[in-house]
Structure 1
Amino acid sequence: MYLLYIFLVENVCESIAYIREGNSEKLYARDIATLVIEENKIVLIDIAGNTYTLTDAVLEYVDFVGHRIILRKTD
């Protein structure tokens, strides 16, 4: 029970980002803690501070319960 509790606490907030192209989704980045939408780009920042910048995608939707960020390619 204690180990399960630790697992749940550690995996509560972070999300996984996927890029949708057509009908398929590809894993793009894990452990995303911050998403910033700027004029011509989307910036994702993971819990380690790594930054992922996309200029050829738009935010399609966020599944808060499932911890999924779905981005769609624009090109």
Structure 2
Amino acid sequence: MCESNAYLRRGKKEELFLKDVTLIKPISDRELLVENLLGEQKTIKAKISQIDFMAHKIVLSPEE
């Protein structure tokens, strides 16, 4: 499988937000819907900081 994991970047730390992400969809100017392979959905006020396709990694930065 080629799903990516989404991480939240807080300062210099990154913490896992959701595993096996299959969809990221903007639902407003500052809010994202993130869904995984099992259909679990989370929303977050964040922006996409980085997507590394080779590492299967998505980094989100929370909006303050």
Q: Which range, TM-score by smaller chain?
A: 0.7 to 0.9
Aligned runs of 1:1-75 on 2, under 5 Å?
11=1, 13-38=2-27, 39-55=29-45, 57-75=46-64
Alignment match, 1:4 = none
Could you report, residue by residue, the CA deviation over 1:13-32 in whole angstroms, capped at 9, with x for unpaired residues?
21100000001101111010
In structure 1, give the amino acid aligned to 2:47.
V
Higher helix share: 1
Deviation at 1:65, TM superposition (A): 1.1
Higher strand share: 2
Which ranges in structure 1 are unaligned for 5 or more consecutive residues? 1-10
Moved over 3 A (4+): none
Structure-1 separation of matches of 2:7 and 2:30: 19
Which ranges in structure 2 are unaligned for 5 or more consecutive residues? none
Q: Tell me the matched-pair count.
A: 63
Identity of aligned residues (%): 29
Structure-2 separation of matches of 1:54 and 1:32: 14
**Superposition TM-score, scaled by structure 2 size:** 0.88
Give the CA RMSD over aligned residues: 1.1
